[in-house]
């Protein structure tokens, strides 16, 4: 009885130890929680990065960059081994083999960040290029506390100890109990223990074989290191892990899809704003084009007027040029006539000068005659005196002397009149000479002015020729400009129609974007409802 009691006590202690060990390994006494915050990140943060075939970082998302407080270019080409220094090599090799096999892997991975270990629940999926694995994409989130505890315990063992199923622990306990009983009760119990042991071995073999067949159909067969983390029962660990793997794939897909719909929603909102702005802008552009069309019409009319006026101006310039030629001919004739007049005036001035000289000569002769008359008068007076002295004999001589004196007086009076006329004629000739001199000077000035007028008319003629050429060019340019304006007007008209069509398309785009946004909102509601059902 004492031996049986001791055996029962030993068996009870062993059973309690196995139960405690099982419950501790399954973390029953620990609360389920989430890593709430790190580096300012919320618990729902998603960390995404991709690796090249050489296991070096290729791209990272914003949350992962914030997690490491690094820039993207500083994280690029960083080997994965530097980020997961405490990850057992067996797990790293398992990830590598699983991904290279074209399958997904889910597990708890410790990331080394500035003397701190951050545990992430990571889904690793292969990236393909031309049908071959070209790298991997890692999608992670903060791991739950219960998974972290299991991973710490599992990785601490370096995965060297085999994981035993729960029924295997029970079988071992039964065998140990039977052997303890056999030691107290003899060979019968020993034989029974051996038979039971063989039965348990055969049953365990059959169970393992059945599990191996079931496991061969699951992706979980590649991820044995994580079975104990995601399952509380070793017998159903592969199936539990398969469910956890698929759940991780779905969650990652939902997360990425949610992020994608948010980006699409933002892009749609931006597109709607741009479309509305396009509608407004195209409307304004259409109005502006209408105004431009009106302005072009007015410009076309103005250009036509300019072309017409330029043509008329060219014709007027041609007429002016012809008139200038006639005026030049008249001016040349006038210049010739004025030149002849100048010569005549000069000749008249010379003639008056000679006339004045001759008048002075006549005046001198008259003075001589006046002197002779005066002397004759004196002689006649003397003769009369002498005749009076002679008395009767000198009476005839006195009569002659008196006649001579009378004739001398008449001559003197005539000479005085001639002298007076000559003085007047001299004054008139002098005045005429002065006038002729002035006329000659004026005639010379007129001749010079005529020459200058001729030169100016020549310059004006050249200027008129230049203006005529320019007006002809303006007329041609105006016609070309009119043609260009007509083409521009037609283009503006076509552009106006295109702008109206663009406005209509922009309005349709706004309506279609609104419809897409509504459908996207419904799609996000379906995703949220699916996530709620999954919770």
pLDDT digits (tens, 9 = 90+) for 251-276: 666 666 655 566 666 666 776 676 66
- Per-residue model confidence (pLDDT) at position 120: 93
Position with higher pLDDT, 26 vs 57:
57
Number of domains in the chain: 1
Instruction: Classify residue 521: in a domain, yes or no.
Output: no
Position 381 in a domain: yes
Mean of the per-residue pLDDT values of the chain: 71
pLDDT at residue 419 above 60? Answer: yes
Report pLDDT for 193. 58
Please report whether residue 116 resides in a domain: no
Per-residue pLDDT tens for 267-317?
Answer: 667 766 766 677 677 677 667 667 777 776 777 777 677 767 777 777 777
CA distance 134 to 191: 60
What is the model's pLDDT at position 138? 92
- Look at the alpha carbons of 224, 230, 234, 239 in this order and tell me if their dihedral is positive or negative: negative
Span of 223-227, 340-344, 425-429 with lowest mean pLDDT: 223-227
Which helix (H) or strand (E) segment holds residue 105: the answer is: strand 105-113
Query: In 143-237, which ranges are E strands?
Result: none
pLDDT at 34: 37
| Token pair in block for residue 472 | 């002809």
Checking if the pLDDT of 114 tops 60, the result is: yes
Over residues 42-50, the mean pLDDT reads 83
What DSSP designation does 486 have?
A: H
Mean pLDDT of 227-242: 68
- Comparison of pLDDT for 80 and 325, the residue scoring more: 80
Query: Per the domain annotation, does 246 fall within a domain?
Result: no
Q: 417 is in which domain, residue-wise?
A: 295-496
Give the residue, 8 or 308, on which the prediction is more confident: 308
- The answer to whether position 8 is within a domain reads no
> What share of the chain in percent tops pLDDT 70?
62
- Across the range 407-418, mean pLDDT stands at 76
SS3 category, 85: coil
On whether the CB atoms of residues 345 and 439 are closer than 8 A, the answer is yes
What is the DSSP track for 472-522? HHHHHHHHHHHHHHHHHHHHHHHHHHHHHHHHHHHHHHHHHHHHHHHHHHH
pLDDT tens column, 180-199: 655 555 555 555 656 666 66
pLDDT at position 426 over 80: no
pLDDT value of residue 136: 92
- Residue range 86-101: mean pLDDT, rounded: 87
Mean pLDDT of 86-97: 87
CATH number at 472 reads 1.10.287.950
Mean pLDDT calculated for residue range 428-443: 74
Between the CA of residue 55 and those of 80, 219, 275, what are the distances in Å? 6, 22, 44
The pLDDT of residue 109: 92
Q: What value does the mean pLDDT take over residues 482-497?
A: 74
Q: How many CB atoms lie within 10 A of CB 327?
A: 16
Output 203 or 125, whichever has higher pLDDT: 125
Q: What is the pLDDT of residues 503-534, one digit of tens each?
A: 777 777 767 767 666 666 655 554 554 444 44
**Order of all β-strands in the sheet with 116-129:** 57-60, 47-51, 132-142, 116-129, 105-113
Q: What is the pLDDT of residue 111?
A: 92
Among 57-61, 117-121, 509-513, the minimum mean pLDDT is found in 509-513
pLDDT at 10 over 80: no
Q: Tell me the three state secondary structure of residue 488.
A: helix
pLDDT reported for residue 38:
56
Task: Judge whether residue 437 has pLDDT over 50.
Answer: yes
Q: What angle do CA 225, 226, 230 make, to 5 degrees?
A: 150
Q: Rounded CA gap, 389 and 384, in Å?
A: 9
Count of beta carbons in the 10 Å neighbourhood of residue 47: 23
- How large is the greatest C-alpha to C-alpha distance in the chain, in angstroms? 247
Report yes or no: 436 and 349 within 8 Å, Cβ to Cβ.
Answer: yes
Looking at residue 1, what is its pLDDT? 46
Q: Average pLDDT, stretch 397-414?
A: 75
Amino acid 535: pLDDT: 44
User: For position 402, what pLDDT does the model report?
Assistant: 76
Residue 433 placed within a domain: yes
Other Cβ atoms within 10 Å of 254 Cβ, number: 15
Question: Taking residues 223-244, what's their average pLDDT?
Answer: 68
Mean pLDDT for 482-509 is 73
In a domain, 91, yes or no: no
- 21-30, 155-164, 256-265, 353-362: range with lowest mean pLDDT: 21-30
Asked if the structure places residue 215 within a domain, the reply is: no
Output the pLDDT for position 13: 46
At 28 the pLDDT is 36
Q: Note whether 139 and 122 are within 8 A (CB).
A: yes
Of 246-255, 318-327, 519-528, give the lowest mean pLDDT range. 519-528
Amino acid 110: pLDDT: 93
What percentage of the chain exceeds 90 in pLDDT? 5
């Amino acid at each position: 009885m004492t031996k049986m009691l001791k055996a029962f006590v030993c068996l009870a202690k062993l059973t309690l130890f196995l139960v405690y060990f099982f419950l501790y390994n399954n973390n029953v006494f620990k609360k389920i929680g989430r890593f709430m915050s790190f580096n300012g990140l919320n618990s729902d943060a998603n960390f995404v990065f991709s690796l090249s075939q050489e296991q070096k970082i290729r791209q990272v998302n914003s949350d992962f960059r914030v997690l490491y407080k690094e820039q993207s270019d500083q994280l690029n080409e960083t080997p994965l081994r530097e980020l997961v220094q405490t990850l057992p090599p067996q797990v790293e090799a398992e990830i590598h083999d699983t991904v290279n096999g074209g399958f997904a892997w889910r597990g708890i991975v410790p990331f080394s960040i500035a003397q701190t270990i951050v545990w992430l629940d990571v889904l690793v999926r292969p990236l393909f290029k031309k049908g071959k694995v070209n790298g991997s994409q890692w999608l992670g989130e903060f791991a739950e506390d219960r998974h972290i505890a299991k991973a710490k315990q599992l990785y601490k063992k370096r995965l060297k100890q085999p994981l035993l199923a729960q029924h295997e622990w029970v079988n071992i306990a039964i065998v140990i109990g039977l052997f303890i009983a056999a030691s107290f009760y003899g060979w019968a119990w020993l034989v029974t223990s051996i038979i039971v042991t063989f039965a348990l071995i055969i049953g365990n073999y059959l169970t393992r074989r059945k599990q191996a067949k079931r496991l061969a159909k699951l992706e979980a067969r590649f991820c044995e290191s994580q079975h104990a983390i995601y399952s509380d029962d070793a017998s159903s660990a592969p199936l539990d892990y398969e469910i956890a793997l698929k759940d991780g794939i779905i969650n990652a897909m939902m997360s990425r899809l949610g992020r994608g719909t948010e980006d699409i929603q933002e892009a749609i909102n931006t597109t709607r704003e741009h479309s509305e702005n396009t509608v407004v802008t195209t409307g304004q552009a259409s109005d502006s084009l209408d105004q431009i069309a009106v302005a072009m019409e007015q410009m076309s009319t103005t250009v036509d007027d300019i072309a017409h006026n330029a043509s008329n101006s060219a014709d007027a310039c041609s007429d002016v040029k012809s008139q200038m030629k006639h005026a030049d001919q008249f001016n040349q004739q006038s210049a010739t006539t004025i030149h002849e007049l100048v010569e005549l005036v000069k000749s008249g001035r010379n003639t008056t000068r000679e006339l004045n000289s001759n008048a002075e000569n006549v005046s001198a002769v008259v003075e001589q005659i006046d002197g002779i008359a005066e002397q004759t008068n004196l002689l006649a007076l003397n003769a009369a005196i002498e005749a009076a002295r002679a008395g009767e004999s000198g009476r005839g001589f006195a009569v002659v002397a008196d006649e001579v004196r009378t004739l001398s007086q008449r001559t003197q009076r005539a000479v005085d009149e001639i002298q007076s006329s000559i003085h007047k004629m001299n004054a008139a000739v002098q005045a005429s000479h002065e006038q002729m001199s002035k006329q000659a000077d004026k005639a010379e000035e007129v001749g010079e002015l005529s020459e200058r007028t001729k030169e100016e008319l020549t310059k004006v003629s050249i200027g008129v020729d230049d203006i005529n050429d320019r007006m002809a060019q303006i007329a041609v340019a105006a016609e070309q400009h009119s043609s260009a304006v007509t083409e521009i007007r037609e283009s503006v008209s076509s552009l106006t129609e295109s702008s109206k069509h663009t406005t209509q398309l922009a309005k349709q785009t706004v309506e279609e974007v609104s419809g897409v946004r509504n459908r996207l909102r419904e799609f996000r509601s379906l995703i949220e409802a699916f996530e709620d059902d999954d919770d």
